Chain A
Amino acid sequence: MNLAYHDVRHNLFRFVLTSLGLSLLMAVVLAMIGIYNGLVADALNVVRAPQVDLWVVESGTQGPFAEGSKIPVSTRDSVARLHGVIEAGSITYQTIEAPFAGSVLRLYIIGFERGRPGGPQDIAAGRGIGRSHFELVADANSGLAVGDMIRLGRDPFKVVGLVEDTTNSGGDPVVFITLADAQVLQSQLAPPAQRIQASRGAGLSASRDTVAAVVARLEPNADKEAIAGTVRQWKHLSALTQADQEQILLQSVVDRARRQIGLFLGILLTVSAVVIALIIYTMTMEKLKQIATLKLIGAPDRTIVGLIVQQSVTLGVVGWSFGLVLILLVKDYFPRRVVLEPLNAVALGGIIFAVCIFASGLGVRAALKVDPATAIGG
């Protein structure tokens, strides 16, 4: 006879309510794990989007994401000529706010040269940019659809394609436009003082002569470090490999946010563990008289331990399962990406299982100490 099953069935409403509370807690823990993963994935997405091997940036900076970087547009030709480089392209990055359909969209603009590295790789809907001006490819999270028109700066742009899961480290959706359009946009959106300069012809020229970085794809067997080393010897320029760039992003750009969420996740897990332990301990304490009776009528310890451990694990499994289902149902409604890997869910399941066993251990300890005489009343 399974006593745990009978007890749960007898107190089903209470058990379901407790499981529901626990599952909400589990859902929050899973959401935090997903947000943490999403933050890292978003940060790396924008670096991985061009699918390149080498980043050439301004000397003394860790650009173009961690720090600002401006290098001459002619750098691309110099990089392209290096031995081991297949192709190179200039790119610019900037964040703008653009009005659309009665609201303001915050967009991360990437300017790239058509036919060169730096542009969108996997078009989910529509097509890539086919004209030199006023076309864009946007991340689907921006809310833009193929065929939409949106004004960036002074010019209207047509949405010709969509990409997925391409945002910057701040969660702003990426929009790809041509390098020429991006350079114009940079000058248009400059502060008033720069606009005055632009009206004199100086600012616009400066903007069009510089880019944020040059990205390059290398031959498969090329020595990345050697090529990067060659570029570093050039005046005013530095080079980062893809791995360097990802490392910089994780260690500088999203590091604090990542640690903040990581710490909060740790606190949340601790709170969950305490709550689970408290629930199970309380459940056991409420049954002490029944446990004393069981001992008195001759139930062995394994029957009593089974009652507590099975209920505890059932509570954990139900709470974890409901929590997982809940977060899978709502994760797409979060403003920022929530990335849940199967390993995360399994790891949390393992942690919860361990917590349940530990918590039931406290209950078991109390139960085994109960004097059967208490069932008689002294």
Chain B
Amino acid sequence: MQSHSPSPIVKIRGVSKHYGEREARVDALRNVDLSIHAGEVVALLGPSGSGKTTLLNIIGCIVEPAEGKVSLDNELVYDNRWLSRDLRRLRLDKIGFIFQFHNLLPFLNAQDNVALVLQLAGKSATEARRRSIELLDYLEVGHRKHAMPALLSGGEAQRVAIARALANGPRIILADEPTAALDSKRAGIVMDLMRKVAVEHDACIIAVTHDEKIYDRFDRLFHLRDGRLDGVKGEMT
């Protein structure tokens, strides 16, 4: 368990989200409150349709809530409406994403996959190259920097994906089933890496997972049931 800094990096208050109207209405999230602090690695658990992906998408500024407030890295980004007009820029600057199947661009090698995010943020090609090599080395996959994603093992690809997520130094990293495509040994390695990243980069990691083998690797587990959030392990918000 990490010692929490005074203000959480992710702060959600009274967030609700529903899909459809009237008889077809489905409440994906009901009045959810959540705070995640720097250095924390937390998991969102729950059966299919419980709202965990919706919550992850709301934190990722991909899905708009129906109501509530969302603050990311001390910036209020949603207060019953998006407060930023450029959500992609917001994502680029504040959030890193790690996917179940790494989602590396197949036509870019490992280094370019990382460098792309840096260049999108306005870094020069030289600076992007330098920083991407640094990150790949940090995640112990620097020797595979010229390899295309198809030639990387599952563990290597996920490390490259983590490097990409870290490229712009975001303080919020969202992970969707980050270990689902890995065996238990590699899943453990990836989780160790994620914790290392959270601590050393003063970031928080929020993961959606069904992988019971790694539950003990999280500081807190949040169980979503019918759109409501319960803390299972660790203190609540």
A297 to B95, CA, bound (A): 8
**Inside 8 A of B57's CB, which chain A residues have their CB?**
373, 376
Is A17 located at the chain interface by the 8 A CB criterion?
A: no
Give residues of chain B (104-131) contacting chain A, Cβ–Cβ below 8 Å.
105-108, 112, 115-117, 119-121, 125, 128
> What string of 1s and 0s marks CB contacts (under 8 Å) between A290-307 and chain B?
100111111110010000
- Of chain B, the residue at the smallest CB distance from A374 is B62
**Inside 8 A of B112's CB, which chain A residues have their CB?**
1, 6
Q: With A1-B115, A297-B164 in contact, is A9–B107 under 8 Å at CB?
A: yes
Pick from B88, B116, B176: contact of A376, CB below 8 A.
B176
Is A148 located at the chain interface by the 8 A CB criterion?
A: no
Is A3 located at the chain interface by the 8 A CB criterion?
A: yes
Contact residue range for chain A? 20 to 34
B120 near A376 with CB under 8 A, answer no
A290 to B149, CA, bound (A): 13
A3 to B115, CA, bound (A): 12
B88 near A10 with CB under 8 A, answer no
A372 to B95, CA, bound (A): 14
A295 to B60, CA, bound (A): 12
A303 to B105, CA, bound (A): 14
Q: With A297-B117, A297-B164, A376-B99 in contact, is A7–B63 under 8 Å at CB?
A: no
> What string of 1s and 0s marks CB contacts (under 8 Å) between B80-95 and chain A?
0000000011011100
**Inside 8 A of A300's CB, which chain B residues have their CB?**
88-89, 120
A22 to B106, CA, bound (A): 25
Is A268 located at the chain interface by the 8 A CB criterion?
A: no
A377 near B53 with CB under 8 A, answer yes
- Of chain A, the residue at the smallest CB distance from B109 is A6
A290 near B106 with CB under 8 A, answer yes
B176 near A377 with CB under 8 A, answer yes
**Inside 8 A of A289's CB, which chain B residues have their CB?**
103
Is A11 located at the chain interface by the 8 A CB criterion?
A: yes
Is B56 located at the chain interface by the 8 A CB criterion?
A: yes
B100 near A3 with CB under 8 A, answer no
**Inside 8 A of B97's CB, which chain A residues have their CB?**
296-297, 375-376
Pick from B120, B125, B176: contact of A297, CB below 8 A.
B120
Residue among B57, B112, B115, B164 with max Cβ neighbours from chain A (10 Å) = B57
Give residues of chain A (357-378) contacting chain B, Cβ–Cβ below 8 Å.
371-373, 375-378
A303 to B97, CA, bound (A): 19
A378 to B120, CA, bound (A): 25
A298 near B99 with CB under 8 A, answer no
Pick from B60, B88, B99: contact of A299, CB below 8 A.
B88
A6 near B120 with CB under 8 A, answer no
B62 near A296 with CB under 8 A, answer yes
- Of chain A, the residue at the smallest CB distance from B177 is A377
- Of chain B, the residue at the smallest CB distance from A372 is B62
A298 near B89 with CB under 8 A, answer yes
A378 to B88, CA, bound (A): 18
Is B148 located at the chain interface by the 8 A CB criterion?
A: yes
- Of chain B, the residue at the smallest CB distance from A295 is B88
A299 to B116, CA, bound (A): 9
User: Least Cβ distance of A286 to chain B in Å?
Assistant: 11
A373 to B176, CA, bound (A): 11
A7 to B149, CA, bound (A): 13
A80 to B30, CA, bound (A): 105
A375 near B103 with CB under 8 A, answer yes
- Of chain A, the residue at the smallest CB distance from B165 is A297
> What string of 1s and 0s marks CB contacts (under 8 Å) between B121-159 and chain A?
100010010000000000000000000100000000000
A-B contact pairs, 26 of them (CB 8 A): A1-B108, A3-B107, A3-B116, A6-B108, A6-B112, A9-B107, A10-B106, A11-B107, A289-B103, A290-B103, A290-B105, A293-B103, A296-B60, A296-B97, A297-B92, A297-B164, A298-B117, A300-B89, A300-B120, A373-B57, A375-B97, A376-B57, A376-B97, A377-B99, A377-B100, A377-B177
The 9 closest A-B pairs by CB, nearest first: A298-B92, A10-B107, A7-B107, A293-B103, A298-B91, A6-B107, A298-B88, A373-B62, A376-B176
Q: Knowing that A298-B91, A298-B92, A373-B63 are A-B contacts, what are 20 other residue pairs whose CB atoms are under 8 Å apart, sorted by A's residue number?
A: A1-B116, A1-B119, A3-B116, A9-B107, A10-B106, A10-B107, A290-B103, A293-B99, A294-B105, A296-B62, A297-B91, A297-B92, A298-B88, A371-B62, A373-B57, A375-B97, A377-B53, A377-B99, A377-B100, A377-B177
